[in-house]
Every structure is written in C-alpha cells, then in structure tokens.
Structure 1
C-alpha cells in the first residue's frame, strides 16, 4: 500500500495541472480574439457590426462559448430597448415634435451667446434623455447654424456646447445610451439588482449642470469660426414655392390661418391669399379659411409632402390638372432640374402647358435666388430651377430622357403627421411611466411603446424600420457574448486581481476614478457599448475582490465610456459638427480634457454617494 500511495497523489497533481489547460487555452483563444477584434474596431477596416459578428463566430468556433450563449445577445434586454427607442424617436420626428421643440429652443435662446448656451444645453440634454442623441444633434445643427447667422454669432461657439449637451443628456435615463443598458444587464447576470430607469438620473442632472456651467465659464476657449456650411447649405431646399387649395368640408375650413401656421411649423411662410380668384391683402392670421381659398406659400420639402397628404388641403396644381396625369403606377412626387440651354428657359409654366405635354404636373418650384411671380403658373423658368413634378412612374422615363432636364430624382421630403403629435406624446409618457414604475419590464414597456407608435400611425411602418440603426442593434447583440466570454474564461478575474494589487489600500473614490479613466481612454477608439462590455466584467470582479458592491464601479465604467469629451472621433455627434463648426482636433482636446477631468470627479463622487454611502457635499461626513 505504501508503494501505491504516491500514484493517487501524482494523479491528483497531474489532474490539477491538466484541469488548468482548458482554462488556459480558453484564455489564450479569448485573448487572441479580443486583440483582433480591438484592432478591427480601432482601424475600422470593417464596419463595427461586421466586426461584432466575426467576434461572435470566432468565440463559438474556438469553443469559448456555445451557440446558445453566443446568440443570447439578440434576445437581450439592451438590444430590444435600443431597437424600440429608435422607433419611438422616429415617431417623435415624424409627428413634428422634435422639430417643434428645436424651433422653440431657437426662439428662447435670444441674441446673446451666453443665453444661447444656457438655453440650448439643458434643453438638448432633456431631448437626448428620451430620444437618440445623434438624432437630436442632427436636428439642432441646422437650427443653430441659422440662429448663429441671423444673430451674427460664431457657429463654433454654439455647436460644441450643443453636441456636449446631447452626450450628457444620455446620462439622465437608463435607456438613452446602450452602455447603461449593457451595464444593467451585467449587474443582473452578476447576481445583483440591475439599474432602474432613473437610477443614474441624479448623476446625469449633476453632469448637465456642471457641463453647462463649464461651457458658460470657459466659452472663451471655444474658437470663433462661422463654419463653412452656412444656412443655405443645410436649408437651401426649404423654400419650395407652391399653392395650396382649402378643400371643401376639410378639417381646415372655417378655422383661422393662425391654427394652420401653428400646425405646420416655422418653415411654412404665407406669401399671398386668393379668395374667388382675387388676391386679398385684408385677410389676417385671425381670418377663417374658406373652401376654395388658394394660399400662395413657401414650405420645406417635408411640409410640401405633408400638405399633399393633408385631407383638408391639397396642392392647387394637382387638383386643377389631375385628370391629365395618366400612365401606370401610383402617382408620386419627383424632382427635375432645368438644364442649361433648355427650351423651357424664359417660358412660364402656363405657356408650357406642361400637364398635357408630359402628363405630369408642376406642383412646386425651388429657385436658389432671384424674384419669382406670385402665381406658380406665371413663374418663368430659369437654368437651375428645381421643379417638383407629380405624375405616374410609367411617364417618368420620357421626362428623364428629355434634354430640357438635367436630372430626375425622387422627392426627398417626408410627410409630417402633426395631427398625431399629442398621441405620440401620450404614448411616450405612458411608456416611460410603465417602465419607471415597473408595471412592465423595461424591454416590454418600450416594445409596447414602439408598437403603439406604429399601430396608431404616428410613424409609418417602413419609416419605423428605416429608423432602426441595424448596425448598433447588431453590434450590441454581438458584443454581449464578449462580456460573457470574458467572465467565463476567467480573464475578467485575472485582470481584476492585477488591478486590485495596483490599487490595494486605495479608498473607493480613486478606484472609481481609475475605472472611469480606463473607459474614457478606450472609448475614443471604440464604441461606448463595446468599451462597457470589455471593462464591465473587470469592474465587477474588482468590486468582488475588494468586497464592495459592484454597481458604482460598473456605472463609473459606463459613464467613462459615454461622456468622455476628448476627441471628435469619440462620439458620432462630434463628427456631425466637425465640418460645420470648422473645428480642429486640438479644439476638442483643449475644451474636453479639463471638462472630462471635472466630469470624472463628479461621476465618481456621486456614484460613491449613491451606492457606497459616501458624503454628498465635499465638507460633510
């Protein structure tokens, strides 16, 4: 027996050694996949969603994850909520709510630079809390460019604060940034309570206040440049000339003109009012509209299409010449440019008898500059005029081949469903209330809201699908397994132990700052979602090693990934304003570095107060 004793011991020792091999090989495989994935994310040789899918497949093929774990991201709460929020944001835009809020912000901003910043930043942050921050930035960009031009303010002094506010606004609610949804998902998988809809709101409010105060105090650091893209570049097609007919028994009959103005928004301009074929200059905004009245107006592309779809109004030219529109296919609007040397130049629309010659109707006209006749039919065409044509697709081939036109392109406008705006606001309010009170789970509540927006026709189903950024959805679904693999292979614990040795004996506050800083640096070359997935498991393991709750560490990691304002490539919103504001890379670093340091301190301090019982005020406790 004595001779046989060493054998089991050796076997046990060898067993322990052998048992480490699968774990070690999994860590090596995961490390290689992660390194290649980081390279592809940073270099952008492939789209981020394609890179995420390649990572997912590599994790399965190497045996690091099974197929069920790899596909779990597609059914995850973050992916569902993000898709639903895109649809809800699209509905707010389709009903004109986003545009109207943006116009109101422009009016409230006044004529002073400091007042514009003080009004725009909190308002944009609030919008970004309930919609997509890139959409808010894109919506506010032309409004601020126009505001800067009209009040002779440097556009570069306004665009960067606006973009910053859109990023900070994502910290006001859980669902406004994918990083926070992923953070909540990680905490739940770690066996702790996830984040509520408004769990991070106190931090978000503090960050918006600090960010606004910083920009007001340090606005002298902002460059003074007007921007290369003026108002004409963004809004030059907002001046379509057309004529509206008030339809008999329509919803606008007997209602005052002021209500129509209010419903159609700021980019609708009345040029004249015809009643019984006679121009009436005595009619005012309080005068009622009567059936058969013709309004001479200028409107944007969206408004032009909205007016055509409005059951109480119609484009006068279409009503008059609709019987001449023949051919196959459903009638639609297209745009044609009058070519140089065209036979149409110098002739009025009335003289051309366009409807009978081409079986299409000129429903609107855009001209870059120069006078135009009051009546659309009396306008004499010029080179470069853009005609809005109404006809059937089978006839468009003749128009496209005609040498009088330079090009024929689809009409770019999208009809606004303004009549559904109150309903869209109600659905948004119910959705947030259901999620905040936990009457429904957050994914189910937002899914319900998205379905309700489509079902009540606040947004068209095709427009809703177009509004979903599939790249972000797929990327989130693809990077969630990366976090699972990081935990399962023990890589997160390994990194956490190394980090814990480095921060051994440190108080909680500097450790929170370390996590924020690591995420802030990494997010400059990776998305906020990918950064959170990569560092979140490390934060959880570090908290366990220190015997502390993981929530503040994960939240600080996600905050660092979302609000680090260091470079123009760190956030998509920054890329939108880079050209219009004539910004340079150094402008973002000069403004963003001190700001990010302040944001890091506020984030770590507030997280310690919320989840670790630290003092709220620096001199208390």
Structure 2
C-alpha cells in the first residue's frame, strides 16, 4: 500500500511541476507498478483496451471531421450570433449549451461534439480558446447531474438503493441539484477563467515555407484568367473525351476542372464533385467547367461548343457553399521549381508527361519575374522556371518525392489539411446526429456508436484519408488516460482506497450527519482525482449506505453526496476524460487545472453539503 501511495505522490508532484511531459510521467508510474509487482503486465496494460480510451480515440476522429468539413464553423457561428460581442455572454451560453447536451449524452461525447465548434468559434471571433474549453469540459460534468442517465455514478447509487430494497431515484430526481451545480459553476468560473485562463498565445503558428493558396491565386492572377462555363443540353462536348476534341490546339484554352452536382432524395444531401480535367475526362450536360485562357478565345469556344458563360460574380447554382473562385477540397495548386538536371529542361509543356505520369496540370509559368498564362502547350521549359501546377493533393505530394528534378515549394499535405471540405458538411452532420441518437437511445454500446461514426467519417470522405484521421488524434491525452487508469486498480488491490475512504467516513460519523455527509462528499471528490468516478462510486456507495444505517438516518443524502462528489471533480486533467480531451487544444498545464479546478471543486462541495439535505433530508432511515 505504501509503495502505491508513494508512486502516486511522486507522479502528482511531477504533474504539478510540468517539467516532464504528462504522458511520460504516467508511463513511468505504470512501469513502476509493474516493476514492484503491484500489478501484473496484463493489469497494467488494461487501460489501453479500456472502453473510455478507445472511445476517446474515436471521438478525436469524429471531432476532427466536424472541424474539417466546416460544420463546427457553421454551428459556432450560430452560437456567436446569439452571444454577440460579449465574451461573458459567450462563456455562459457555452456552459448552458454544453450542460444541456451533457444531461442526455455522456460527458466525453458532449465535449467531443463541442470541442471543434468552440475552437472554430474562437478562431473566427478572435477569442482565446483557453478561456472557453476548460469551462466547457467542466459544464459537461455538471450537466450530467441533471438526469439519472447523465453520468454513471447516478446509476451506481440508484442501483445501490434498489439492491437495499429501497425506492429508486426517478429520471429527473437529480435535476434540482444539477441546476444548482450549473449555476454555482457559472458564477465561480466567470472570475476564475478571467484570472487564470487565457494567458497562453493561442494564435496559430504559420508555416514559414511556401505560399498560402490565396497568395498563389493572387500572384498568378488565376481568377482574372479563369472562366466558368455551364454545359448546355445540346453541347457536342458530351460526345467525346476531351483529348479527342483537341480544344487547346483549336481554341488556345485549357479546361482545368469539372464540377458536377449529385442530388439525393433530400436537398440536404446534395453534393458537388470536383474533378480535374484529364485527357479521358467526359463532361455531361449541366456540368460546370473551369476554363483558363483569354476572354475572346474562351467566348469563341463557348459559342461553338454549346456552353454558357457564367457571370464570375455569381455561384454555379443556388448552393451558397459553391463560390465563384476555385475550391480546393480535393484538387489543389502548388508551385514547382525546376532544377538544373531536370529531364523537363528544353521540353515543351505538351511533351512533359506531367499529366500522364503524375496526374497534374500546368496552369501557369513564372519566368524571370514574368508570368506565362496562355498557349502553354508549346512553351519550352527552362531551368529556374516556377510552374503553377494543379492536381489532387495526393498527386502533388507525390511530386515532392522526386527532389533531384524539381522542388515542390511548401508542404502540400499540410496546406490541404487547412482546406475545409464544406461539401461534406451535410454528411458529417448526419453521422454526428446518428451517433448521438445511438448513444441516447442505447441502440448499441456507446463505444461502438463512436467507432462506427469515426469509420463512417473516413469512408464518406469527411476526412481525406485514414492518415488524416490518425493525425486528428492527440496521442498524449490518450496515453495519459490509458496509463493512469490502472492506478485505480493498484489502489483498490492494495486496499489503499478502502482504507482511506472508510477511515475518513467512520472518523467523521461522530460529529453528526452534516459532518458525515461532508466527509463522504470530499472523500469521493478526492479519490476521483486518481480513480475513475464510476469506480469511486462503486467503492463508496456501500460504505455510505452502511454509515447511514449505523447512524439511523436516511441514506439518500449520503448516496447523493457520493454521486455528486465523484462527478464534480475538476482539479486534475486525468480525473475525467473531458478534462483530458481539452488539455491539448487549450494548451493547459497541470497547474491550470489546480488553479481553476481546486477552488471550484471546494466551493461546489461546500454548496452541495448545504443544498443536498434541502432536497433529500436526513430524516429517519
């Protein structure tokens, strides 16, 4: 027992100091438990297969997809509209919305839903994310106290009452206490968040290498040389592949992209595909094609091939998500600098083979501070030329591997990750709603619902590929939680948990029911900092029931103290999954949780000691 407590104490000190990464500290404590024979390797590694940890992995992917598709930005915009310019109103509204969702969805799921929304909202509103994320995580736990299903400890104490032959708690029996928790939390967090949160610089770090997409568009005057045509019903363009039509030779224009609308039964599910024009591409009636060339040449091509020129100041159709400028959802642009020993030197563009070998088009050439936009097919490439290329992000990234012939400027995949897949937002919204419904109505286990949603996000293209899905996962948080979960097994196995809880509760019993309830509450609150709230509730519920019986008082207030005490734990990042989920996004340190969470936890406890007996009197057993 002493060895376990010593390992826990040293870990806590290292967490507070913050000199060593928190996940590394957690792994070292786990290794110590194995080396001293306190836990077997199987027990020590059980945290990595824990359903909470697996669920967190899936939730990171789901949250990443919500962010990447722009759905978070849309929802954040609604919240920002209601909050106006008041940061105080935004904080209160965020906590109320989060608590409302947390009443019916697990606090982990609630935070995963709200996290990308608030990050996007903060970026658009110029607000530091650290001001919002920790209060949001705490609010998810407070919201769990509103209903019987809001948090597992509620179900644990209800089950304990029923096993003792007493009347169980109703679905909304916790609601009055939950409302007091939320009001108390908001009133306490307003000054604490202003005092201790928001000191970190949340501004995104920009890549020094390469130019942004908007810079490339402006520099190469893409919009000035780009025209959009809609293919009409009787257009001969639909009869042959583009290669057979010899459009560049006859009209001195290049078709660079094809947009096609796909409609489902419901307008909400309409999507637009974005395809780079290749030699084998076939266009269809109603397609919108993007053409580069001089206006007179494009106009002549449109007249002779039955295409309608679209005013560049309007969108292709009524879908507001489709803008007149190029979109970079699937297809991107980048600069490629030719090296001296490149095989492309002195070769005409039409013979370069870049489209056939690498799937990219050359849109423009920068040579000696001059730009060449038209009749590119006959231009001979020279050493030092900078080519503006177009292709899928994957193909552009593949070009960067051949560095002895050319250099792709910047980081294509990193640039692609900044592009919002707005056309996939309806799919992401549908998947997210299905996940929430499955968790609320218990169609499948919560962890299964989350994993199914994560896989669907990848399969449906809400994330570009599996690699991007993996990049959305914050592995530091995952390792931290997975490595600390077995600590609860060690505390229970060595008898430390039972000795601490039983000693505190029994020692305070002689001072009356209020002192006993306070002892139960703060013991639960303390243990939850190191053990999961469910495990703490399972451990303390029978002790509280027995203590109430020995004093001849009603067990309800003591069991409510167990439930609330285990749920209102804010003083460390690994006490609850929501606390860990927001830690990397908010750039919080362990001490941030101590400075904000400890006062909140203590004040919440004092309020609850007074409030719980008002709704659940001690009475007679």
For normalisation by structure 1, the TM-score amounts to 0.59
Checking the alignment, whether the CA contact within 8 Å between 2:99 and 2:139 is kept in structure 1 is yes
CA distance in 1, matches of 2:612, 2:567: 10
Tell me which of 117, 139, 143 is aligned to 1:168: 139
- 1:30 paired with 2:33, answer no
Name the structure 2 match of 1:443: 447
- 1:147 paired with 2:150, answer no
CA distance in 2, matches of 1:501, 1:457: 58
Name the structure 2 match of 1:69: 43
Q: Tell me how far 1:282 sits from its aligned partner.
A: 6.5
Distance 1:586 1:455, change over 3 A: closer
Tell me which of 474, 486, 495 is aligned to 1:490: 495
- 1:458 paired with 2:481, answer no
Distance 1:362 1:510, change over 3 A: farther
Checking the alignment, whether the CA contact within 8 Å between 2:61 and 2:454 is kept in structure 1 is yes
Question: Secondary structure, in 3 states, of the residue corresponding to 1:160?
Answer: helix
Q: Which moved more, 1:549-558 or 1:497-506?
A: 549-558
C-alpha distance after superposition, 1:488-531 (max 9, x if no partner) = 222122112321244224566665655665787899xxxx6667
Distance 1:615 1:537, change over 3 A: closer
Checking the alignment, whether the CA contact within 8 Å between 2:517 and 2:561 is kept in structure 1 is yes
CA distance in 2, matches of 1:501, 1:97: 52
CA distance in 1, matches of 2:45, 2:15: 20
- 1:95 paired with 2:69, answer yes
Checking the alignment, whether the CA contact within 8 Å between 2:69 and 2:462 is kept in structure 1 is yes
CA distance in 2, matches of 1:239, 1:121: 36
Checking the alignment, whether the CA contact within 8 Å between 2:504 and 2:519 is kept in structure 1 is no
- 1:429 paired with 2:429, answer no
Question: Secondary structure, in 3 states, of the residue corresponding to 2:55?
Answer: helix
CA distance in 1, matches of 2:143, 2:199: 31
CA distance in 1, matches of 2:460, 2:261: 25
CA distance in 1, matches of 2:372, 2:525: 59
- 1:356 paired with 2:381, answer yes
C-alpha distance after superposition, 1:409-460 (max 9, x if no partner) = 7543325443333333333333333333333232333333333333434333
CA distance in 1, matches of 2:500, 2:179: 33
Q: Tell me how far 1:614 sits from its aligned partner.
A: 1.4
Distance 1:120 1:182, change over 3 A: closer
- 1:104 paired with 2:107, answer no
Name the structure 1 match of 2:249: none
CA distance in 2, matches of 1:607, 1:322: 80
Alignment of structure 1 residues 328-367 onto 2, 5 Å: 346-348=369-371, 350=373, 356-357=381-382, 361-362=387-388
Checking the alignment, whether the CA contact within 8 Å between 2:228 and 2:312 is kept in structure 1 is no
Question: Secondary structure, in 3 states, of the residue corresponding to 1:562?
Answer: coil
- 1:413 paired with 2:416, answer yes
Name the structure 2 match of 1:562: 570
CA RMSD of aligned residues (A): 6.1
Question: Secondary structure, in 3 states, of the residue corresponding to 1:492?
Answer: helix
Question: Secondary structure, in 3 states, of the residue corresponding to 1:362?
Answer: strand
Distance 1:32 1:556, change over 3 A: same
For normalisation by structure 2, the TM-score amounts to 0.59
C-alpha distance after superposition, 1:37-59 (max 9, x if no partner) = 43444445654444444444443
CA distance in 1, matches of 2:212, 2:172: 41
Checking the alignment, whether the CA contact within 8 Å between 2:505 and 2:520 is kept in structure 1 is no
CA distance in 1, matches of 2:483, 2:509: 34
Count of residues paired in the alignment: 500
Question: Secondary structure, in 3 states, of the residue corresponding to 1:493?
Answer: helix
CA distance in 2, matches of 1:573, 1:227: 14
Question: Secondary structure, in 3 states, of the residue corresponding to 1:64?
Answer: coil
Q: Which runs of 5+ in 1 are unaligned?
A: 1-26, 149-154, 265-271, 298-302, 334-342, 365-387, 617-621
C-alpha distance after superposition, 1:161-206 (max 9, x if no partner) = 56423432354459xxxx967998999999989x999998886665
- 1:543 paired with 2:550, answer no
Q: Tell me how far 1:397 sits from its aligned partner.
A: 4.1
CA distance in 2, matches of 1:145, 1:592: 25
Alignment of structure 1 residues 255-334 onto 2, 5 Å: 285=314, 288=317, 295-296=324-325, 304=328, 306=329, 308=331, 324=352, 326=354
Checking the alignment, whether the CA contact within 8 Å between 1:324 and 1:360 is kept in structure 2 is no
CA distance in 2, matches of 1:329, 1:558: 61
Question: Secondary structure, in 3 states, of the residue corresponding to 2:415?
Answer: coil
Distance 1:223 1:46, change over 3 A: closer
CA distance in 2, matches of 1:445, 1:116: 30
CA distance in 2, matches of 1:197, 1:90: 33
CA distance in 1, matches of 2:447, 2:197: 44
Tell me which of 389, 396, 400 is aligned to 1:393: 400
Q: Which runs of 5+ in 2 are unaligned?
A: 232-257, 273-289, 300-308, 337-348, 549-554, 574-578
C-alpha distance after superposition, 1:463-483 (max 9, x if no partner) = 223333333333333333321
C-alpha distance after superposition, 1:9-39 (max 9, x if no partner) = xxxxxxxxxxxxxxxxxx2343343334434
Distance 1:101 1:498, change over 3 A: same
CA distance in 2, matches of 1:67, 1:390: 42
Checking the alignment, whether the CA contact within 8 Å between 2:4 and 2:38 is kept in structure 1 is yes
Checking the alignment, whether the CA contact within 8 Å between 1:81 and 1:443 is kept in structure 2 is yes
CA distance in 2, matches of 1:238, 1:606: 57
CA distance in 1, matches of 2:432, 2:581: 25
Question: Secondary structure, in 3 states, of the residue corresponding to 2:388?
Answer: strand
Checking the alignment, whether the CA contact within 8 Å between 2:504 and 2:523 is kept in structure 1 is no
CA distance in 2, matches of 1:234, 1:203: 49
Name the structure 1 match of 2:53: 79
